[in-house]
């Protein structure tokens, strides 16, 4: 865009769009413009090429950094720095302490993120958690590992909940599910990749302990420094390098990014305001914060997310241990974590594609969470068939990951305004991460090899998520029907003004 032309802002563009109007009955649908459709598809492809690789790789490294403890447990970490940890309680605390700072800082970090350019915010969080994770390899005692995990939680809390908000700047509700599937699917990719790396590390015989080598390899390339015991710790962590890339290449908001020409900016802003138009830019609407705090649906989403994250945390930390109970060696148990994660990535993408096409989230969430619950039931009831029990791990991982990917997409477009999203998304995520703390303590050594308590609790929470998802989807469908009856159906393709009421605006319609 040439410098002598004024920059088009979101607020100035809003003035050019007519307010939505209602008619009794069904309004005629405008005839699609083939040229505009082609332009929009080209813009989405360009956004995908620029945004998705950076966001997905960031999440890959973030999830590797938080979940590599599960493999490190089988590579003598407790024996080296936890005095053997005969009860498993110290390891459980190291695993769960990450979630304490992650929970506490989620809401303020995501709200404050609105006041900064997205590329700057995302870059700083990535660099921070990359350094924190790298320094985990320098820990030589329990307190050192605790401190590293606390800081890891602080920096990652500013990334995870901010991504759905960021995606909503560029993608419509018809596109959001698949993009969230790509993004969250990299958590499953991280699980598979971490298992492969751990299997390779298990075969190495070096002067450095294998669990330290695991952290170092996952933080490979860069400048090394020497620390005690001649351990070479890498400070050129991929997350740090990717954070620098993010600073220069991740697009800022549609109204301010240099990625677009004038026509692309106009189209991007129209798409941004298609489903809702309220506060935008470096502003925070205090009334919408209060609306989020009073919204019962966000708390119901938190109950769902609680159960899912309880399962997710236990999967991340204990899946290698669980598979080992099937009679495999440490190395083979780590290798056999790869297929369930690969299956989860495929199922996640397929379910999210279908939910985008049908514009229905709750039903798909209920199905996928039910699959996870069935997996835990098999673990509880089938005791002597290892093939069935290994199949159950596929159900558990695929069902849990898929439900999480869909619920993030669900709330990204059902809260109406940016401030309510910036408050509501980390709200239900913070509630959910309390489940991560619980999941980190459900599989102590003393409960093995049956782990009845852990499997029973996560099974019940998965089925509770099924019930809550059904309640939410019925609620959204009922509310949409009520508004259609009172106000008529809003005409498609026009701006929905959510400046004052967010998703409570009469013309706003939920994705059920």
Q: pLDDT digits over 407-432, tens only?
A: 999 998 899 888 999 999 999 999 99
Q: What is the C-alpha separation between 66 and 313, in angstroms, rounded? A: 10
> Which of the residue ranges 8-12, 223-227, 501-505 has the most confident prediction, judged by mean pLDDT?
501-505
Query: Given a cut of 90, is residue 404 above it in pLDDT?
Result: yes
Pair type for strands 224-226 and 232-234: antiparallel
Q: Smallest Cα–Cα separation from 54: which of 126, 109, 3?
A: 126
Cα–Cα distance, 503 to 106 (Å, whole number): 22
Q: Residue 236's pLDDT band (boundaries 50, 70, 90)?
A: very low
Which residue, among 80, 322, 81, has the nearest Cα to 195 in the 3D structure?
Answer: 322
Cβ neighbour number for residue 222 with a 10 Å cutoff? 16
What is the C-alpha separation between 476 and 510, in angstroms, rounded?
Answer: 6
Q: Say if residue 148's pLDDT is above 70.
A: yes
Contact 320, 449 (CB under 8 A): no
Low-confidence winner among 84-88, 276-280, 322-326 (lowest mean pLDDT): 276-280
Tell me the Ramachandran region of residue 349: left when phi exceeds 0, alpha when psi lies from -120 to 50, beta otherwise: alpha
Q: Where are the alpha helices (DSSP H) in 135-228?
A: 142-157, 162-168, 173-202, 210-217
> 196 pLDDT band (50/70/90 cuts)?
confident
pLDDT for residue 9 is more than 50: no
| Cα–Cα–Cα angle for 393, 299, 406, rounded to 5 degrees | 45
Round the average pLDDT of the chain to a whole number and report it.
84
DSSP letter string, 402-415: HHHHHHHHHHHSSS
448 contacts: CB under 8 Å, gap ≥ 6: 321, 325
Residue 22 has φ and ψ, to the nearest 5°, of -120, 150
Q: What is the rounded (10 degree) CA torsion for 495, 497, 499, 505?
A: -140
| Backbone φ/ψ region at 488: left (φ over 0), alpha (ψ -120 to 50), beta | left
pLDDT higher than 60, residue 75: yes
pLDDT number for residue 8: 43
Identify the H or E element spanning 330.
Answer: helix 330-335
What's the count of helices (H) and strands (E) in the chain, helices before strands?
Answer: 20, 4
Beta bridge partners of 19: 495
Cα–Cα nearest to 125, from 161, 159, 176: 159
The gap between the terminal CA atoms of the chain, to the nearest Å, is 39
Angle at 346 between CA 340 and CA 348, to 5 degrees: 95
Which residue(s) pair with 489 in the sheet? Answer: 23
Q: Which helix (H) or strand (E) holds 424?
A: helix 418-439
Cβ neighbours for 226, distance < 8 A, ≥ 6 positions apart: 232
CA angle 376, 382, 388 (to 5 degrees): 80
What is residue 70's predicted lDDT score, i.e. its pLDDT? 73
Token couple for 80: 């080296």
């Amino acid at each position: 865009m040439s410098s002598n032309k004024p920059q088009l802002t979101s607020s100035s563009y809003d003035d050019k769009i007519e307010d939505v109007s209602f008619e009794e009955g069904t309004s005629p649908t405008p005839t699609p413009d083939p040229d505009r459709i082609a332009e929009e598809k080209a813009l989405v492809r360009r956004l995908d090429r620029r945004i998705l690789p950076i966001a997905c790789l960031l999440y890959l490294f973030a999830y590797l950094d938080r979940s590599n403890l599960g493999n490190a447990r089988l590579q003598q970490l407790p024996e080296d720095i936890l005095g053997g940890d005969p009860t498993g309680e110290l390891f459980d605390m190291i695993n769960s302490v990450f979630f304490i700072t992650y929970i506490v800082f989620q809401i303020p970090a995501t709200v404050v993120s609105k006041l900064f350019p997205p590329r700057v915010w995302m870059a700083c969080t990535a660099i921070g958690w990359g350094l924190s994770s790298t320094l985990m390899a320098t820990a030589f005692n329990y307190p050192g590992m605790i401190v590293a995990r606390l800081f890891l939680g602080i920096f990652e809390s500013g990334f995870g909940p901010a991504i759905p908000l960021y995606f909503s700047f560029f993608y419509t509700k018809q596109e959001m599910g698949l993009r969230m599937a790509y993004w969250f699917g990299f958590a499953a990719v991280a699980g598979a990749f971490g298992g492969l790396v751990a299997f390779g590390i298990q075969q190495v015989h070096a002067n450095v302990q294998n669990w330290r080598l695991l952290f170092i390899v996952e933080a490979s390339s860069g400048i090394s420094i020497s620390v005690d015991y001649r351990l070479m710790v890498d400070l050129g962590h991929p997350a740090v390098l990717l954070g620098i890339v993010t600073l220069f290449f991740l697009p800022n908001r549609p109204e301010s990014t240099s990625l677009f020409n004038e026509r692309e900016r106009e189209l991007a802003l129209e798409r941004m305001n298609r489903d809702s138009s309220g506060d935008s830019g470096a502003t925070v609407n205090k009334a919408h914060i209060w609306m989020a705090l009073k919204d019962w649906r966000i708390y119901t989403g938190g109950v769902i997310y609680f159960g899912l994250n309880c399962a997710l945390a236990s999967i991340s930390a204990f899946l290698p241990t669980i598979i080992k109970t099937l009679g495999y060696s440490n190395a083979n148990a780590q290798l056999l974590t790869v297929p369930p994660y690969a299956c989860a990535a495929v199922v996640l993408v397929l379910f999210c594609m279908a939910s985008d096409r049908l514009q229905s989230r709750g039903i798909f969430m209920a199905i996928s969470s039910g699959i996870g619950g069935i997996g835990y039931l098999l673990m509880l009831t089938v005791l002597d068939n290892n093939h069935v029990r290994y199949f159950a791990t596929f159900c558990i991982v695929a069902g849990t990951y898929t439900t999480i990917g869909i619920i993030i997409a669900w709330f990204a477009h059902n809260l109406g305004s940016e401030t309510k999203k910036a408050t509501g998304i980390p709200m239900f995520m913070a509630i959910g991460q309390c489940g991560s703390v619980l999941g980190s303590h459900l599989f102590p050594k003393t409960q093995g090899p049956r782990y009845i308590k852990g499997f029973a609790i996560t099974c019940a929470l998965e089925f509770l998520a099924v019930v809550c998802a059904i309640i939410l989807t019925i609620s959204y469908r009922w509310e949409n029907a009520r508004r259609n009856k009172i106000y008529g159906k809003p005409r498609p393709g026009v701006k929905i003004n959510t400046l004052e009421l967010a998703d409570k605006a009469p013309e706003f319609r939920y994705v059920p």
